[in-house]
Copies of this chain bind each other. A is one copy, B any other.
């Protein structure tokens, strides 16, 4: 793979500096886990098998409604975005796939496939966009200002359905097997739209999309409590999302974005319920303190992320049958997006590793004994374990970096692309 963006020598040099300390920490952790009856190598192997997709839009700098502050060397198109994604994968070895967003990433499918293959990347779920207008695009003559799949006007709905099917078809051409649908449809004022009629129109449109998908495609619908609509959203929570997935059929599933819930909501319980209902389609990982903040996974409440993975590990075979999609969905407003994505993928794997350390037999025993404190401590012990050496080991075995952000900084990649890519001005997010 001669095209990989970071030169091997950079990686080797950085790893070399850290090798001894890493080996010592890994050995010590291995002994500690051994005393708990856990084989560290088995955990390493499970981590190596766990991947999470990066969003193509995530490698650009995000923003808020107030402003966007561009960073140096932002990618100017999907091909440059793929280069950045390749850096993330080369160093972190957790993100072999990229999730595209249409129309932002429209390009020649064959060229896309070739480019990705040359970088060791492939494509995950496709994302459609009916929450923005693209006035120069002849395929979108009608505005989504007042909705898309649930719009009062059947012509707008038809346009939105058509767009989704085109996105799926595009995805099929590049090897994707799923379509994620998130809409901004809703209302800013009580009365603006009828909760019932708009939902029925949404369902009608969703059925049309579902019916037109390629045979091997899954459909992921995504709920969100609010924003951009500020009084009501058509798919506002997992309850409505479940109604939709059940109405549509066997290949329709619910996508859980960790930032799309009401304050204080117990997200891991929702994950459990969707597994029960056989409708968990996957995740958009990120973290949040207030609203849909789209911060780096695990940066605000790492225990919550662990608890989500605890549900996934607990579900065992039931989850394997669902094979949920793991995707990052973040907005990088104040960091180098490559760095944020590297560490977020790491934090997601960290939560998974911690969840794998839970002594499940003991936990069930405590639960059946109503021993609340031991059950709580059982999870806490796993969460407290510093699995950093395990993450590093998994990366190393796959050719990545012990400390991928340090290696990235050592590589000078950002400086190089900043010289090659003129600054992108203006705002305009592209943040889901």
Q: Which residues of B contact A383 (CB under 8 A)?
A: 302
Binds B, one of A83-91, A167-175, A288-296: A288-296
Q: How far is the CB of A124 from chain B (nearest CB, A)?
A: 22
Q: Which residues of B contact A200 (CB under 8 A)?
A: 276
Q: Which residues of B contact A368 (CB under 8 A)?
A: 152
Binds B, one of A21-29, A43-51, A94-102, A207-215: A21-29
| Chain copies in complex | 4
A133 adjacent to chain B (CB < 8 Å): yes
A405 adjacent to chain B (CB < 8 Å): yes
* Interface hits, A155-200 → B, CB 8 Å: 184, 187-197, 199-200
A263-B262, A334-B192 are known contacts. Are A293 and B230 too (CB-CB below 8 A)? Answer: yes
Tell me the complex Cα distance, A217–B307, Å: 39
Cβ–Cβ contact B262 & A265, under 8 A: yes
**Which of B190, B243, B273 interacts with A276 by CB under 8 Å?**
B243
* Interface residues contributed by chain A, number (CB under 8 Å): 121
Q: How far is the CB of A294 from chain B (nearest CB, A)?
A: 8
A411 adjacent to chain B (CB < 8 Å): no
Write the A139-160 contact mask toward B (1 if CB under 8 angstroms, else 0).
0000111100000100000000
Tell me the complex Cα distance, A429–B66, Å: 6
**Which of B146, B239, B294, B310 interacts with A238 by CB under 8 Å?**
B239
Q: How far is the CB of A384 from chain B (nearest CB, A)?
A: 5
Q: Which residues of B contact A384 (CB under 8 A)?
A: 386, 388
Tell me the complex Cα distance, A363–B288, Å: 22
Q: Which residues of B contact A366 (CB under 8 A)?
A: 191
Tell me the complex Cα distance, A146–B372, Å: 9
**Which of B145, B290, B427 interacts with A227 by CB under 8 Å?**
B290
A105 adjacent to chain B (CB < 8 Å): no
Tell me the complex Cα distance, A89–B427, Å: 33
A80 adjacent to chain B (CB < 8 Å): no
Q: Which residues of B contact A429 (CB under 8 A)?
A: 65-66, 427
Q: Which residues of B contact A184 (CB under 8 A)?
A: 66-67
Provide a sorted-by-A list of 23 A–B residue pairs whose CB atoms are within 8 angstroms.
A65-B65, A66-B227, A66-B429, A145-B370, A190-B300, A191-B366, A191-B375, A191-B378, A196-B311, A196-B314, A226-B291, A228-B333, A231-B266, A231-B300, A237-B239, A238-B239, A264-B289, A299-B380, A301-B304, A302-B303, A335-B372, A339-B373, A427-B428
A interface vs B, CB < 8 Å?
21, 24-25, 28, 31-32, 35, 62-67, 69, 131-133, 135, 143-146, 152, 184, 187-197, 199-200, 225-228, 230-232, 236-240, 242-243, 261-266, 268-270, 272-273, 275-277, 288-291, 293-296, 298-304, 307, 310-311, 314-315, 331, 333-336, 339-340, 343, 363-364, 366-370, 372-373, 375-380, 383-386, 388, 405, 425-429, 431-432
Closest CB pairs A-B (n = 9): A239-B239, A262-B262, A195-B272, A69-B145, A28-B28, A189-B376, A230-B293, A191-B379, A64-B228
